[in-house]
């Protein structure tokens, strides 16, 4: 298979990426079609659909291989399940599948861009295919979600005075930065084995776009310490 394009997303590193699509709606991403796929005819009629299936490559984990058993973060990282009973990124074939909301299709000369909402991809993720989401066939009533039947609990986020000032200084370039940080941290991106840690001094960091965010978790609440531009 050959990639048909690449994804431009705010997630500069795997650590901050939500574990499922659609959880962080403030995350805007753009699929840039490339090669023979970058043709206006390839997307003709696509704007009729509200959502898309995007097939992509887990390019940052494929070199690490896979195992038949994995530890889903949803189960605290302690219980093992078969890889095919999970959405682990470590798979025999490193292929991912996400449904996202279509925001716009843009054609600029010979370039074709597809803007979407709620993607769960690291920046520069290769795209293998795009298909329209068909409600009558793809939405299944009374489907069973196993250990992930309901959405996970989220954590509230507060910002220090310093972080608030820093975000305001970045508003012109990143108008939804505060909301993006809130929605990403609400999903608790920490490793599952640390989610119940009582180490209140632990400081975490992530990069969104080219902005470094540092925070702590105190009493099940995210406390953003700083938001600084630069890798």
As a whole-number percent, the residues of the chain with pLDDT over 70 amount to 96
Lowest mean pLDDT among 26-30, 73-77, 89-93, 169-173: 73-77
Residues 106 and 161 in one domain: no
Enclosing domain of residue 217:
157-229
Averaged pLDDT of the chain: 92
Please, which residues bridge with residue 115 across strands?
Answer: 30, 104
E strand residue ranges, the chain: 5-8, 28-33, 51-57, 69-70, 81-82, 95-108, 111-117, 126-132, 157-159, 204-208, 211-217, 222-229
Give Cα separations from 41 to 31, 38, 46, 48, 89 (angstroms). Answer: 16, 9, 10, 14, 32
48 with 91, same domain?
yes
Shared domain check, 73 and 19? yes
Q: List residues bridging with 7 in a β-sheet.
A: 31
Q: Would you call 25 helix, strand, or coil by DSSP?
A: coil
What's the pLDDT at 74? 81
Residue 202: inside a domain, yes or no? yes
Backbone phi and psi for residue 79, each to the nearest 5 degrees, phi listed first: -95, 140
Q: In this predicted model, which residue has the larger pLDDT, 76 or 102? A: 102
Q: Give me the pLDDT at residue 150, please.
A: 81
pLDDT (tens digit per residue) in 159-213: 999 999 999 999 999 999 999 999 999 999 887 766 555 556 799 999 999 999 9
Is the residue at 92 inside a domain? yes
Stretch 133-139: mean pLDDT, rounded?
A: 95
Q: Which residue has the higher pLDDT, 151 or 109?
A: 109
Q: Which CATH number does the domain housing residue 119 bear?
A: 2.40.30.70
216 and 127 housed in the same domain: no
| CATH code: domain of residue 176 | 3.30.2310.10
Q: Are 29 and 9 in contact (CB under 8 A)?
A: yes
pLDDT at 196: 55
Q: Do 94 and 161 belong to one domain?
A: no
């Amino acid at each position: 298979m050959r990639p048909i394009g690449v994804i431009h997303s705010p997630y500069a590193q795997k650590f901050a990426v939500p574990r499922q699509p659609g959880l962080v709606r403030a995350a805007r991403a753009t699929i840039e079609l490339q090669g023979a796929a970058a043709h206006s005819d390839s997307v003709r009629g696509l704007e009729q659909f509200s959502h898309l299936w995007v097939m992509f490559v887990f390019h940052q984990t494929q070199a690490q291989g896979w195992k038949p058993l994995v530890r889903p973060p949803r189960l605290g990282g302690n219980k093992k399940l078969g890889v095919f009973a999970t959405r682990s990124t470590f798979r025999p074939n490193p292929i991912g599948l996400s449904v996202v909301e279509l925001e716009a299709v843009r054609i600029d000369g010979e370039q074709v861009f597809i803007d979407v909402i709620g993607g769960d991809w690291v920046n520069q993720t290769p795209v293998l295919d795009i298909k329209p989401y068909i409600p009558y066939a793809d939405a299944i009533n009374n489907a069973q979600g196993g250990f992930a039947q309901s959405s996970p609990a989220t954590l509230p986020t507060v910002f220090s005075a310093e972080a608030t000032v820093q975000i305001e200084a970045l508003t012109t370039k990143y108008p939804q930065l505060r909301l993006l940080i809130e929605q990403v941290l609400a999903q608790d991106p920490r490793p599952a084995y640390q989610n119940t840690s009582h180490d209140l001094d632990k400081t975490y960091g992530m990069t969104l776009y080219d902005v470094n965010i540092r925070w702590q978790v105190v009493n099940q609440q995210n406390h953003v310490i700083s938001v600084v531009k630069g890798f």
